[in-house]
Amino acid sequence: MYLIKKIAWMAIGLILFFAPVTLSTELTPKAGGMENTTIHAQKHLPYVPGRILVKYRSAATAAAKTDMQTLYGLAVKKEIPSIGTLVFKLPEGLDVKTAVRQLRDDPRVEYAEPDYYAHPEAIPNDPAFSTQWGLNNTGQVIGGVAGRPGADINAPAAWDLTVGSDSIIIAVIDTGVDIGHPDLRPNLWVNTGELAGAASFDDWQPNGLDDDGNGYVDDIVGWDFFFNTNNPNDESKKFGGHGTHVAGIAAARGNNGAGVTGVSWAARIMPLAAMDYNDGGLPISAVAGALGYAEQMGAHVINMSLGLYQDSHTLRNAISAVQHAVIVCAAGNDGTDNDVRPHYPSGYPNANLIAVAATDQFDHRVWYSNFGAASVDVAAPGARIYSTYSRFVDASGYTFLGGTSMATPMVAGLAALIRAGNGTLSPVQVVSIIKGSVDKRPSLSGRVSTGGRINALQALRAAGVGGGGDSGGGSGGCFIRTLQSVH
């Protein structure tokens, strides 16, 4: 049996290796959105150089706004319509700190702040035995270490109740998603309002029109909010891969005979790219724009495997503007107490937001995972997690990564299962159910507010899901155990 599995996976690997990365459908190249390369030669700044975020007071007139922009030499780069915030490009000679200091004192301005960078919350790990222990831990050996049986989210038993539904949308705000990946393409969200008569995404061609009137032209499978294009592919060879890995954990296609399975087998993945290819960070302006789009376009769950330690008016307002989705946020990977050193957006108190720490194969908090008895809600598997990966970065299309970035989509996938199984629940109720159904663990007591690691079966039962509901295609989840191991 082992030999047969090994040969099968070698064959799949060869197919993926030689499969073309590009799609037949044309999406706008990202190069058109690049910033000034001279400006971006300054690496590792905490914010985007040369631009700031400003929100005017409601009493400011159009003339007053124009006068202020002329006075400071500001040029509007774009607007974040969901929260009424403008992104301004600064004139030569005016640095970010000076501009923010001056504008904060201007009576026409509600707030002015830098366009801070958030960063993906992942830590790479060397590939070992390719097994998804976080879904079903049998004590299998990973990285030379045998885990503790049962230190998992109990996914196979949960799949006996539901494997998810293609009516549920998970927005992934990240580096992008490899939208042609064979384990993700079947679950790719398609904006049917932009099809313009095409039978499917495969038949679609751009027409340069905003067919659905949402403010975005040809946004057929999402948007890139840094480059301002309809191409959310995870293409950066230097900084990419993260978003594709996250998407696979949450919703890689299940029961398709290849690769891995997501927590939700059938949920639709909405790729929302927000990464600056020059720096590798995710500007708050891009993240906020993506949050607004996810809310506008009907996402049920939003995955945010990213974070920063600087509070931001723009990010806080964008989070608060989301009312119809469960927002799942990584707690961070510095091994620090978020109650003492706040981390965002995981630290915002919104009732539809859940903050996630990472556990290992023994149900212990991973040493690098941030924690917080008041500010972090639950834990989920986040060490040595095997998932899909951008083929622009690694032709194999799969790899191991670890971090709270990987724990977060475990929870996002669970939220998608709950919403698929019981559509009457509000986002706040879904969050409450996840928090109230954890497996309590001594290692998490005093480290996360619930003291526990998520349990998918218990959460679904608490949500009133039962009877083998399977709206996502395929039969019950017991047989998925045969797909768990990758040798």
pLDDT digits (tens, 9 = 90+) for 307-328: 999 999 999 999 999 999 999 9
Is 443 among the catalytic positions? no
pLDDT class of 457 with cuts at 50, 70, 90: very high
pLDDT class of 26 with cuts at 50, 70, 90: low
Is 242 among the catalytic positions? yes
pLDDT digits (tens, 9 = 90+) for 261-310: 999 999 999 999 999 988 889 999 999 999 999 999 999 999 999 999 99
pLDDT digits (tens, 9 = 90+) for 217-227: 999 999 999 99
Q: Mean pLDDT over residues 351-371, rounded? A: 95
- Strands 398-402 and 439-440, how do they pair? unpaired
Mean pLDDT of the chain: 84
Q: Mean pLDDT over residues 14-22, rounded? A: 35
SS3 131: strand
Is 364 among the catalytic positions? no
Number of H helices, E strands in the chain: 10, 22
The one catalytic residue in 115, 152, 160, 174 is 174
CATH superfamily, with its number, for domain 34-116: Peptidase S8 propeptide/proteinase inhibitor I9 (3.30.70.80)
Domain ranges of the chain: 34-116, 123-486
pTM recorded for the entire structure? 0.84
pLDDT score of 469: 35
SS3 169: strand
The maximal CA–CA distance of the chain, rounded, in angstroms, is 75
The one catalytic residue in 115, 183, 236, 242 is 242
pLDDT score of 213: 96
The one catalytic residue in 236, 390, 405, 485 is 405
CA distances from 477 to 258, 328, 467 (A): 16, 25, 12
Cα–Cα distance between 410 and 70 in angstroms, integer? Answer: 48
CATH 3.40.50.200 fits 123-486, yes or no: yes
Cα–Cα distance between 244 and 388 in angstroms, integer? Answer: 6
